[in-house]
A and B are shown apart, each in its own frame.
Chain A
Amino acid sequence: MLAYLKSKVLEEVGKVVIGRDEETTLLLTALIARGHVLLEGVPGTSKTLLAKSFSRCLGLRFRRVQFTPDMLPLDIVGGFIFNMKSREFEFKEGPVFTNILLADEINRAAPKVQSALLESMQELQVTVEGQTSKLPSPFMVIATQNPLDFEGVYPLPESEMDRFMIRIEFGYPNQNVEVEILKRNLTELDLDVVKPVISNEELIEAFKVVDSVKASIEILEYVSKLAIGTRTDNRINLGASPRAAVQLVQVARANAALEGRTYVTPDDIKKLAGVALAHRMRLDRSAALKGLATNTSAVIQQVLDVVKPPR
């Protein structure tokens, strides 16, 4: 059932986004794992286009928020507004009250605005002036951000980074794909060609399938060893948190479900460890300066090479 779902999503998204099947599959994997996704890449690499077309094919409520430096938290979560007629303060829901929230260029906003999403991402609720409101279900944040060495960006706080189940890095397309993109853009791109292909019921069914996927105790021990491996590595300042380990298992279960399996294998873990852990970790500055490690993904790869999976 999930394989069919995947092929439908790839087909629909592929109508407007070229050469991003892997990224689309990762988005779907995170969605059915009930996680949030961070898309990172230089401008013009189809991050927003992919997020928009992916959301369209889900047939769920979708809101897009363009993050800017002058934003306030209430622009995201909403706030109390005085109603002149009833002479009372009423809660006006912000754009976060949706199924899919596209937080475009999230690192252009100040950290306090970025942090406004913390509660909604973790607890699926919003608290404003002591009043807690539940968010619609399912709820997924797809955020895009530019690399940190770009002008006018604020790095996301560690606690915020830790709430993204996976980070998908967008590189430049190869030449063949780029030519295809150029050809397609000779005529105006119309997102209306992307039709909703997944109903809410199908999505709920997909959640159930993922929940039924077995992760054996040996797989859990393996994931724990990997997380500890990132924490004890001298080149790392901040290793993978227990939440990171939990989310790695969850996204691995979703991957197994998409591949038609009812159990998680070490290959699922190895395939997703990079996208699920790298963005939460911080390199030690002196190690980076000494050239001992270039990025956290490379460290994770070395940890994966050393830690013996259950065989």
Chain B
Amino acid sequence: MLLVANVAIYLGLLLGIIRGRRFRLPSNPTVEEAFKILEKSLTRTFPDLPAGYTWKEVVNRLKASNLDLDWYEIEDTVRKYEEFRYGGIDYKNANVDAILRLAVSLKKVEKDARISQIQST
């Protein structure tokens, strides 16, 4: 009985470490890396999200959620990223942290969704 409990605890710890490493944020990500992280986070949180989404659509939808974030900052960063991405304009003072904070906050959305799913069943 004790052995089984031990295995379960250590397995849980091990899985936690692996998961933590998988979603560990790079120390000094570029704007492109930050958006890649956001993309991964979105795919994990919303597996049904259609592949054809754009950043503006995603930000507009997430704004309606209860995430306590600086949306002005996020929208400004998206705009600067688009200027760089599609307009070839160098981005200056792009706030990478705003995008990373959004990516991390999606975990909360994922957790809340799981809780509400359990409660509904």
Contact = CB atoms under 8 A, between A and B. Distances in A.
Interface in B14-64: 35, 39, 50-57
Given A267-B56, A267-B57, A262 B87 contact: yes
A211 to B, nearest CB: 15
A266 interface: yes
Contacts of B90: none
Nearest to A309: B54
Contacts of B50: 305-306
User: Main SS of the interface on chain B?
Assistant: helix
B86 A218 contact: yes
Given A311-B35, A311-B39, A266 B87 contact: no
A216 B85 CA distance: 9
B75 interface: no
Interface string A267-282: 1001000000000000
B86 A307 contact: no
Nearest to B85: A310
Nearest to B51: A308
B82 interface: yes
Contacts of A265: 54, 56, 82, 86
A88 B35 CA distance: 72
B87 A311 contact: no
Interface residues of B, number: 17
Interface residues of A, number: 20
A308 to B, nearest CB: 4
Given A263-B88, A311-B39, A306 B52 contact: yes
Contacts of B87: 214, 216, 261-263
Interface in A30-57: none
Given A305-B50, A311-B35, A219 B55 contact: no
Interface of A: 214, 216, 218-219, 261-267, 270, 304-311
18 contacts: A214-B86, A216-B85, A216-B88, A261-B87, A262-B89, A263-B88, A266-B54, A267-B54, A270-B52, A270-B54, A304-B52, A305-B52, A306-B52, A307-B51, A309-B52, A309-B54, A310-B86, A311-B85
